[in-house]
Structure 1
Amino acid sequence: MGHSQAEKAASRERVLRIAARKVRAEGVTRPGVAELMNEAGLTHGGFYKHFASRDDLITQAAAAALAEGTAKMERAARKNTQEPRTGLIDAYLSKRHRDAPATGCALVTLGAAAGRSDDGLKEPYEKQVRAYLDLIAGLSADSDEARAEAMLTLSALVGATLMSRAVADPALSEELLTAVADQLKRRGAQATSPAA
């Protein structure tokens, strides 16, 4: 007796969820099909019932990993009802986010791969960049400068997180998170302060 369509869809979704976590943690070159299928509790032979190729799976997993970020960023912004931009900054530039790449923002881990990729990865990456820019710009009180400020903020968030994960010195890693968060919050406070 064959698997029902619902079971097949659930298996496919499980593989995709595991692959998205691996792509965030390890990038696009590392996860192998056998490893992913084993972790999903499925046989390697069943892979092609769900995906056309490894590249197909990785592209879909990367798109899923990227898309998950918007809801997380929105939740982070809502945590601080008085200063949603500060809530977003605090969550993004936290030790928790730095230390959990498998569940963190995929913009950090997939940037270099997207830059070297064909449109298969560039398009979902760009879509997520645009979604974050819209979200961050929407938190700004100054609508004239909102887009440029959102670009600066997002670049600082992604860059500081990437570097804080990449350096060997724990003190420098912490300093990157703290200093960039402080500077971004200071810029936000200056933008919302009445002119002198």
Structure 2
Amino acid sequence: MRYAEDHKAQTHQRILQEAASRFRRDGIGATGLQPLMKALGLTHGGFYAHFKSKDDLVEKALRCAVDQLAESRATKLSADRSAAAFIDLYLSPEHRAEPENGCPLPTMSSELGQRGQPSEITDELINQMLSALEAGAPTGTCDSDKSVMMMSALVGAVVLARSAKDPQLAERILQTTRQQLKQQISKA
């Protein structure tokens, strides 16, 4: 059976997209290579034709997740690049309920730190978020220290909301954080 010339590249991309989704939804440690490959109809041994190791996959899947997030954010915020719109999007019930489609920081950042494998891609994403907050805030309302605090609150609120069993508590965490952060950018 002959494959199309770009079959390997397409397979590589499918693995990356599935891994990016699973790492964001389930975490790095809980995502096994064998179940990942099986979900794609591929063999575990075939994994090594595409990646050197799971660590290699993690780094490339993180890049894929960041790229997907940037594309999604650009689409959803196309008309409104304000910090308030960014906060609303990040602290939305959809972002809480669909980690596989959202920001990798709430799920992956603590694991990368625990594994002793911080990533330059994580730094890049953090800096992108800080820039989005600073650029989208009214002039003089969000300096670099405030944007760090706000970004930390955004990520922390999503982590807490996802871990809450009670849906009302989860929504309260998101709503309260949203309101408080928006008040912060309205103050000079």
After TM superposition, the score normalised by the length of structure 1 is 0.86
Mean Cα deviation higher: 99-108 or 135-144:
135-144
CA gap of 1:144–1:165, structure 2 versus 1, over 3 A, is: closer
Mean Cα deviation higher: 161-170 or 174-183:
161-170
Superposed CA offset, 1:129-152 (max 9, x none): 111112221112335843222212
Counterpart residue number, 2:51: 51
Counterpart residue number, 2:181: 184
Is the Cα–Cα contact under 8 Å of residues 21 and 65 in structure 2 kept in the other structure? Answer: yes
State how far apart, in whole Å, the 2-side matches of 1:59 and 1:163 are: 25
Counterpart residue number, 2:19: 19
Between Structure 1 and Structure 2, how many residues are aligned? 188
Which amino acid in 2 is paired with 1:35? P
Which of 101, 108, 126 is equivalent to 2:123? 126
2:156 pairs with 1:159: yes
Which of 84, 95, 115 is equivalent to 1:117? 115
2:127 pairs with 1:140: no
TM superposition outliers: structure 1 runs of 4+ over 6 Å = none
Equivalent residue runs for 1:60-139 within 5 Å:
60-80=60-80, 84-119=82-117, 121-139=118-136
Residue 102 of structure 2: SS of its match in structure 1? coil
State how far apart, in whole Å, the 2-side matches of 1:144 and 1:107 are: 25
State how far apart, in whole Å, the 2-side matches of 1:129 and 1:70 are: 12
Which amino acid in 2 is paired with 1:33? L
CA gap of 1:143–1:75, structure 2 versus 1, over 3 A, is: farther
Identity of aligned residues (%): 31
Is the Cα–Cα contact under 8 Å of residues 66 and 103 in structure 2 kept in the other structure? Answer: yes
Larger Rg: 1
Counterpart residue number, 1:194: none
Counterpart residue number, 1:37: 37
Unaligned runs of 5+ in 2: none
2:172 pairs with 1:175: yes
Q: 1 or 2 for the larger relative contact order (CA 8 Å, sep ≥6)?
A: 2
State how far apart, in whole Å, the 2-side matches of 1:10 and 1:24 are: 21
Superposed CA offset, 1:97-130 (max 9, x none): 10001111101111211222344x4221111111
Q: CA RMSD in A?
A: 2.1
Which amino acid in 2 is paired with 1:85? A
Is the Cα–Cα contact under 8 Å of residues 74 and 135 in structure 1 kept in the other structure? Answer: no
After TM superposition, the score normalised by the length of structure 2 is 0.89
Give how far 1:4 is off.
4.6
